[in-house]
Amino acid sequence: MTTEMELLVDAGGDVRCIYDEALDLRELGQLQITRASHVEPDAEGLWWADMGPSAGPVLGPFRSRSKALATERIWLATRLSERQAASPEPLDEPKNHHQQHRTERGNYNGSQQALTKR
């Protein structure tokens, strides 16, 4: 199985991507990994993708975790591409706040954005 990763390089030489282990990003330089979202279930077992750490909406509900994760990844990839296209300058850092959207299960999963420095 082949996994693709989209790496976006800004004018300053920084690389942004949605973290995946398909490529050892340490080979590109020093890593700075920040949480971009939270995917978790609610009390009824429905799944939500909270894009708040990336200044985005709460997506869902989804009947399956895999659907929530897939939608989360699409949203992040689209936003990352749009931001890069809109600005050839170095991208600003994603917001690193955590919204209190916990459920009884407190199950936190989600994607991270990776930023490597030259």
Q: How far apart are CA 50 and CA 110, in angstroms?
A: 9
Record the pTM. Answer: 0.69
Helix (H) or strand (E) holding 85: helix 65-86
Q: What is the pLDDT along the chain (118 residues), one digit of tens a residue?
A: 567 888 988 888 888 999 988 999 999 899 999 999 999 999 999 999 999 999 999 999 999 999 999 999 999 999 988 877 776 554 444 443 333 333 333 333 456 665 544 4
Q: How far apart are CA 59 and CA 68, in angstroms?
A: 8
Identify the sign of the CA torsion 107, 68, 20, 118: negative
Sequence spans of domains, the chain: 8-96+106-117
Taking alpha carbons only, the member of 106, 24, 35 closest to residue 72 is 35
